[in-house]
Amino acid sequence: MAPVVSGFSKLSKTDKIKWLAEHHFNNDQNAIDTLVTYWNSDHGLQQLHDEFTENTISNYYLPFSVAPNFLINDKRYTLPMTIEESSVVAAASKAAKFWQTRGGFKAEVLSTIKVGQVHFTFTGSPKKAQQFFSLIKPELFSSVSHITENMKKRGGGVIDIELRDKTTEIDNYYQLHCTFETVDAMGANFINSCLEQFAKTIQSEAKKHNDFSNTEKDIEIIMSILSNYVPQCLVKAHVSCSIKDLPHTKTLSSRQYAEKFVRAVRIAEIEPYRAVTHNKGIMNGIDAVVLATGNDFRAIEAGAHAYASRNGKYASLTHAEIKDDTFTFSIELPLALGTVGGLTSLHPLVKLALQLLERPNASKLMEITAVAGLAQNFAAINSLITTGIQQGHMKMHLMNILNQFKATEREKEQLVKYFKTNAVTHSEVVSQIEKLRG
């Protein structure tokens, strides 16, 4: 067991690694070398990475890939994707290529409102709380004018502040439910700064309020924090084509394909066990773009899954239908994204990713990201209802297995050729490697 360490954050990066090597890695030089190998040779760039977070000892690399041929609202894009899962980028690219000759993807932002809340307790009656709130609401707005000044110039700011009575759920519990427009910024710092000022203003105004008793003046602020559930920061995307233009196989006509596809999506709409995996596949595409563009994929994940549960049961984020002779596949979900602030102006690859997308504003990035999720889901369902998911996935996973066994370039070449016409399984790859090695 490692000893308690004091002042670890103040140690140099080298001394942090020495401590880890001594107490966790048995002084294994290979562990030390691995950490140092992933340092960036550019000292300035490495320092930038070191200062992103606390106790940085190395860099953790993920592939930075691109998926071309995305036709979105009649404009062609190449999407940046940061993800390690082997088949995601290939699947997205395949879906993009399929739909580019069938009208491409259509996307629109439905709304861009974000939410934050001040959670507090008040011992007086709900009627008194509402009267007090109505009285001080103008003061709440004016108290953040120094924070909102620049945001207002860009077209954003505080939209509304609402008092919500939650006393039937927790004794004396109220919320200030606040809505914001943060334009091209994700806006977390802006929202939290406004909320904390609202909290101070509530308390200071309560102490001056003549109709409150001494007990009622003691409003207790529990916390002030933005919400990552943003059901009014919505984007929708869809693809549509004539049924005759859909894929067909030896066993499925295009119409049968469409009907099977719709049934597969319908299952994800009513069966949570399927819906979770279904939506995970959607998030493969979305997270990859979110991460590549320097946005918070944890917040996006949390908000998307909450939205999938908004009707009381976890369900699919995508929907499919056949109307007359037309097949339509669509997605709707909340995406609170930013293209200014945070890593967008600091991380060199994030800046490059946004440049690749022709420097979109936040709304345009919402559309692009939603399309990535829809494309990913289309590719996954296409595989599931035809060849099965493993055929394509294991083909892409082959190289990972070969690298695991330290295959040479010659061995890789021979085995890739072999598995073009044979099913990829872990045991079969091992068997073929052993054959090659005699």
Q: Which of 184, 205, 287, 296 is catalytic?
A: 296
Residue matched to tokens 């102490």: 207
- Could you give the CA distance from residue 314 to residue 298 in angstroms, rounded to a whole number? 18
Nearest to 353 by CA among 293, 428, 402: 293
- Could you give the CA distance from residue 239 to residue 107 in angstroms, rounded to a whole number? 9
Q: Which of 280, 313, 426, 435 is catalytic?
A: 280
Burial class of residue 184 in the structure, from the number of CB atoms within 10 Å of its CB (0-12 exposed, 13-18 middle, 19+ buried): buried
Q: Are 335 and 109 in contact (CB under 8 A)?
A: no
162 in active site: no
How many other CB atoms are there within 10 angstroms of residue 387's CB atom? 11
332 in active site: no
Q: Are 90 and 376 in contact (CB under 8 A)?
A: no
Nearest to 163 by CA among 119, 227, 193: 119
Cα→Cα distances 296→59, 179, 279, Å = 18, 20, 18
85 in active site: yes
- Could you give the CA distance from residue 6 to residue 49 in angstroms, rounded to a whole number? 24
347 in active site: no
Q: 364 Cβ partners below 8 Å, 6+ apart?
A: 357
The set of catalytic residues is: 85, 280, 296, 393
